[in-house]
Amino acid sequence: MRYPVTLTREDGRVLVAFPDFPNVHTFGDDEPEAVARAVDALESMLIAMIEDRDEIPYPSPIKRGRKSILLPALSETKVALYRQMRALGVGKAELARRLNCHLPQIDRLLDLRHASRLDQLEQAFLRLGKRLNISLEDAA
């Protein structure tokens, strides 16, 4: 999931804004630092949205010449799990029942800051009737 960003220079800093998330902003002393902070800011927003049970928007198309932020693969997988749960009306307690595990384990599966194991995420998707598929693409 690659979200578009707007980078602007202001007072010697690079400001980052997310068109898909109007309330998310961050900055850095230079572009690499701003981009690194942007990933953290985006993940922080997504964590809050999951905790609040909000719908997470899909990324807007990236217009030519526009910068974007790529969500880390594990975070993208967790967001996909959250979206699938919402689409099916399956809550955390129901997924825990289907996986025969405790609720805190589901909380960790949905926590973007927790390094969940891929096999656990695969099992969660299977219990929702989906199969996790991984693909590679050339690095930009």
Residue range 9-20, pLDDT digits in tens: 999 999 999 999
pLDDT digits (tens, 9 = 90+) for 20-59: 999 999 999 999 999 999 999 999 999 999 999 999 999 9
Per-residue pLDDT at 140 exceeds 80: no
**Residue 116 near residue 134 (C-beta atoms within 8 A):** no
Pairing status of strand 2-10 against strand 67-70: antiparallel
- The span from the CA of 32 to the CA of 44, in Å, is 19
Q: 110: Cβ–Cβ under 8 A, 6 or more apart, which residues?
A: 50, 78, 81, 82, 92
> Taking residues 49-71, what's their average pLDDT?
94
Closest CA to 77 of 119, 105, 127, 38: 119
Q: Does the domain at residues 2-70 carry the CATH identifier 3.30.160.250?
A: yes
Q: E strands within 11-136?
A: 13-18, 21-28, 67-70
pLDDT digits (tens, 9 = 90+) for 106-135: 999 999 999 999 999 999 999 999 999 988
Q: What is the pTM of this model?
A: 0.91
- Angle at the Cα of 53 (from 52 to 58), degrees rounded to 5? 110
**Of 50 and 139, which is predicted with more confidence?**
50
Q: How far apart are the first and last CA of the chain?
A: 14
